[in-house]
């Protein structure tokens, strides 16, 4: 039930159909009682009078896959989760589109919620991914996470 390592990165936005499919495909599992989902979406942040139009994500893929395997193992060791899916965009994602999708399932709600929250925090903090915020006048700035 654990997904393959090389499924993490999606070129461009995470399609709504992928999100719907991942949620729907767990319905057949009779030992699951809770799903927790996090979605990150591109926001039109205002910076000095200019508005973010898109973010272009670049990734150190080798290091990222290695780090993701480490995070995945830690989550499975710490939470009784049945399933865990993580997708992150690579390349260009426009305002309003989804760039980050985390999905966890478990028998009882606390494991799914705790695992999802920890995945979101660790991925944002530990994954070698960089976002370049693009403005309408073709200037850009590099995103910094809070």
Partner 1 sequence: MRIQVKTFGALTEILEREFYVTAGDTAELLTALSRQHPELSHRKLLVAVNNTIINTPVDLRDNDVVALMPPYSGG
> 31 is in the binding site of which of partner 1, a copy of itself, none (Cβ under 5 to 8 A by kind)?
a copy of itself
Token representation of residue 37: 């989902």
- Give the span between the Cα atoms of 92 and 5, in whole angstroms: 22
Residues that bind partner 1 (CB under 8 A): 40, 57-60, 62-63, 66, 88, 99-100, 109, 120, 123-132, 142-145
Alpha helices in 79-131 (DSSP H): 109-126
Phi/psi at 42 (5° precision):
-75, 125
Q: Which is nearer to partner 1, 1 or 126 (CB)?
A: 126
Considering the complex, state which of residue 1 and residue 121 has its C-beta at the smaller distance from partner 1.
Answer: 121
Question: Footprint of a copy of itself on this chain (CB under 8 A)?
Answer: 16, 19-20, 23-24, 26-44, 95-98, 107-109, 113, 117, 120, 146
Closest CB to partner 1 among 85 and 88?
A: 88
Q: Which does 118 bind (CB under 5 to 8 A by kind): partner 1, a copy of itself, none?
A: none
- Token pair belonging to 48: 């000095």
Q: Which residues does 80 contact at the CB level (< 8 Å), separation at least 6?
A: 106, 107, 111
Name which of 73 and 109 has its Cβ closer to a copy of itself: 109
Q: 5 near 64, Cβ under 8 Å?
A: no
> Which entry of partner 1, a copy of itself, none binds 6, CB below 5 to 8 A by partner kind?
none
Q: Are 23 and 103 in contact (CB under 8 A)?
A: yes
- Structure token pair of residue 119: 């995945």
Binding partner at 2 among partner 1, a copy of itself, none, C-beta below 5 to 8 Å by kind: none
């Amino acid at each position: 039930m654990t997904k393959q390592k090389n499924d993490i990165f999606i070129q461009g936005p995470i399609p709504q159909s992928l999100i719907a499919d991942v949620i729907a495909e767990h319905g057949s599992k009779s030992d699951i009682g809770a799903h927790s989902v996090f979605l990150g979406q591109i926001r039109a942040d205002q910076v000095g009078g200019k508005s973010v139009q898109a973010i272009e994500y670049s990734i150190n893929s080798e290091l990222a896959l290695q780090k993701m395997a480490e995070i995945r193992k830690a989550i499975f060791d710490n939470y009784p989760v049945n399933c865990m899916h993580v997708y992150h965009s690579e390349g260009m994602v426009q305002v309003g589109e989804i760039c980050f999708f985390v999905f966890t399932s478990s028998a009882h709600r606390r494991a799914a919620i705790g695992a999802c929250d920890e995945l979101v925090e660790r991925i944002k903090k530990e994954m070698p991914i960089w976002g370049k915020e693009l403005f309408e006048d073709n200037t850009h700035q590099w995103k910094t996470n809070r």
